Structure 1
């Protein structure tokens, strides 16, 4: 079985993809990759471009998005191929528009994914196919940071069946919904997906439910970020490089998947309320509990089916309607939803609701919108400052 690239190698390679945005000389990528790329012939590789932005006049641009390089003869990577995809360039309005374009589109396997990320992957795919023609690699190593990690995930999906695939992402946002995560995880194999994120990095927290990470659930390499609050600096590749150091994959902490249900939601609410004592506003612990509780409540309300193919305001409207209906079902359900609302209100720094407060769909829509705006704002701050 082919060995994976090391954490230190993949961080360096993720960084090298950014060198290709405006520079077509692959020697620049060789220098940026350093020792991480020593077994791949990057200098003789193929730079690819991608389209970011929106499909409106003047709303998009094509720039370099990374490269394909083949393993050098006489090295352990001979017969393998490397694909590196860059993330958002903070000075690019079109890249930022891609990040914000959260409507759903069909992935290569026909599953619902983030439209902006899918469009970038689709604009790259043909060039990657050309670079692979006649090579028949045994293994594809696909690496990406931030937006590049999400695009790399969809690109890996499109390349299923081409070769064995190992996917490495750092601080990547969620690429698709649960059905997408389930199918792609099964096709790639959980052990072939190396998702690394800092617990205080805001970018992996977007888009919110119903979008999901692969590998499905919380099987990932979870690194401690700075402090207990959402941290912009946690998204920096330099921060990831320091966190992984020279450790191998077995030396990094792994968070295993836990299946939560409505039976456990009260315990999670209690944890959130306990964690919310003191400086709860923007607490990373509280935010992760909010995400879990929201998903459980919406699943219990039967709101997951039907959310998958909608983006933007429609998703928030459906989520708010589902929570409102749940609150109206019984006194116990209403109290549970009010508890959840107050956890969110405390996180946002807003005044708490009184016990027995009436929850309207309009109010819940506003609350969810505020939550999305705050998390998205953190993510944008991180993206704009990470270089």
Structure 2
């Protein structure tokens, strides 16, 4: 098989954290060569460095992963390994998240893109080496923020070099909007994208709407974990390794979570059963929003971020489109109304509401309040991970 096993990918996603776990880079390289000397040669020359940051915390340039040529049993394979960061909560819960364009010209999280593109010179050098060595298989691997970078790397390789890589992510946040997820899925192929996530890992639930996961169709790899609220430890790579140990990708695929059909989404929107802020509710709410946006935009949910000027924030765009949807038809109007009611219920707000009350300002305020509540929820969960010293 050309792709890595789930356990191989998970081990690499975990061991790249040697860059932060061990006292020095030399210690990390020594450890990694001890673990993988038969198939890789780790060195300072193979190091990837990224400049990370934004207006909400200090920028820094630091070791973020490796570029590697396989040898021995992995001869003919090339690898891009990316780690996560302790600043992930700041990246994901910033209220002013902006969108910019990926290598393929699609809308993605601007912070992720900026960090990735600071690595581009080193990536280009490595791709020249890949070309000279007649590499047939390329693998992009990462956990948490590293998963977001691995996804962007896969898009970059396909866009610039016309090669279809394999992408493996564990507990990755959402990287882009509908256009990115759709383009990346169709151009690389859903069968080459292995997205694994624990049920109670909060990170795959954010950034919140309208960001969605890649692949946006085909198979993802749902890993059961206890409860319906975030369990901080289930974002850690130690649990991901345990969850995939001795399991093939087809075996993991059999653990698939409930697929949310269009009919199921409509039933959920109309349901009067009480809901609160849980992982399950966030999953349903995200799917419902994408569904309602498609109805408002006549099937083109990707238009968010592409059809407006830079003065419109994502929340402005969402409010504008949903308000327009109220005027399309009675059916679409009721979908928008039920969606806002669900959001208000999660916020603990009064649910008695009429379509006429849904002004752009009101819709925008509900989105902002919900975003803040989810962000507080996320910060608390990730803080517990940091306190326990786990890699994020």
Please give the residue correspondences for 1:309-324 in structure 2 after superposition, counting only pairs within 5 Å: 309=306, 314-324=313-323
- Which 10-residue stretch deviates more, 377-386 or 33-42? 33-42
Pick aligned residue for 2:90 from 90, 96, 105: 96
Cα distance 1:105–1:234, how it changes in 2: closer, same or farther (>3 A)?
same
- Which 10-residue stretch deviates more, 228-237 or 19-28? 19-28
Is the contact between residue 117 and residue 151 of structure 1 (CA under 8 Å) also seen in structure 2? Answer: yes
Cα distance 1:265–1:252, how it changes in 2: closer, same or farther (>3 A)?
closer
1:144 aligns with 2:142: yes
CA distance in 1, matches of 2:201, 2:92: 19
Cα distance 1:364–1:219, how it changes in 2: closer, same or farther (>3 A)?
same
Query: Which residue does the alignment assign to 1:120?
Result: 115
Cα distance 1:301–1:12, how it changes in 2: closer, same or farther (>3 A)?
same
- Structure 1's unaligned 5+ residue stretches are none
Query: Which residue does the alignment assign to 1:252?
Result: 252
Is the contact between residue 20 and residue 67 of structure 1 (CA under 8 Å) also seen in structure 2? Answer: no
Cα distance 1:34–1:226, how it changes in 2: closer, same or farther (>3 A)?
farther
Cα distance 1:67–1:104, how it changes in 2: closer, same or farther (>3 A)?
same
Cα distance 1:185–1:81, how it changes in 2: closer, same or farther (>3 A)?
same
TM-score by length of 2: 0.83
Q: Report SS of the residue matched to 1:110.
A: coil
CA distance in 2, matches of 1:37, 1:378: 42
Query: Which residue does the alignment assign to 2:133?
Result: 135
Cα distance 1:97–1:330, how it changes in 2: closer, same or farther (>3 A)?
closer
1:165 aligns with 2:165: yes
Shift in Å at residue 368 of structure 1?
Answer: 0.9
Shift in Å at residue 48 of structure 1?
Answer: 1.4
Query: Which residue does the alignment assign to 1:296?
Result: 291
Shift in Å at residue 335 of structure 1?
Answer: 4.1
Cα distance 1:109–1:203, how it changes in 2: closer, same or farther (>3 A)?
same
Cα distance 1:281–1:50, how it changes in 2: closer, same or farther (>3 A)?
same
Q: Report SS of the residue matched to 2:119.
A: helix
- Which 10-residue stretch deviates more, 127-136 or 109-118? 127-136
Is the contact between residue 9 and residue 35 of structure 1 (CA under 8 Å) also seen in structure 2? Answer: no
- Which 10-residue stretch deviates more, 177-186 or 287-296? 177-186
Cα distance 1:354–1:19, how it changes in 2: closer, same or farther (>3 A)?
same
1:84 aligns with 2:78: no
- Structure 2's unaligned 5+ residue stretches are none
Query: Which residue does the alignment assign to 1:217?
Result: 217
Shift in Å at residue 382 of structure 1?
Answer: 4.2
Query: Which residue does the alignment assign to 1:4?
Result: 3
Is the contact between residue 104 and residue 112 of structure 1 (CA under 8 Å) also seen in structure 2? Answer: yes
CA distance in 2, matches of 1:98, 1:207: 5
Is the contact between residue 40 and residue 82 of structure 1 (CA under 8 Å) also seen in structure 2? Answer: no
Shift in Å at residue 291 of structure 1?
Answer: 0.9
Query: Which residue does the alignment assign to 2:193?
Result: 193
1:107 aligns with 2:102: yes
Query: Which residue does the alignment assign to 1:350?
Result: 349
Structure 1 residues 246-293: Cα deviation after superposition (integer angstroms, max 9, x where no partner) = 2121211354996854x66432324x543x3xxx32222222111111
Shift in Å at residue 379 of structure 1?
Answer: 3.5
Q: Report SS of the residue matched to 1:144.
A: strand
Q: Report SS of the residue matched to 1:158.
A: helix
The count of residues paired between Structure 1 and Structure 2 equals 374
Structure 1 residues 106-125: Cα deviation after superposition (integer angstroms, max 9, x where no partner) = 21122221111111111112
CA distance in 2, matches of 1:344, 1:34: 51
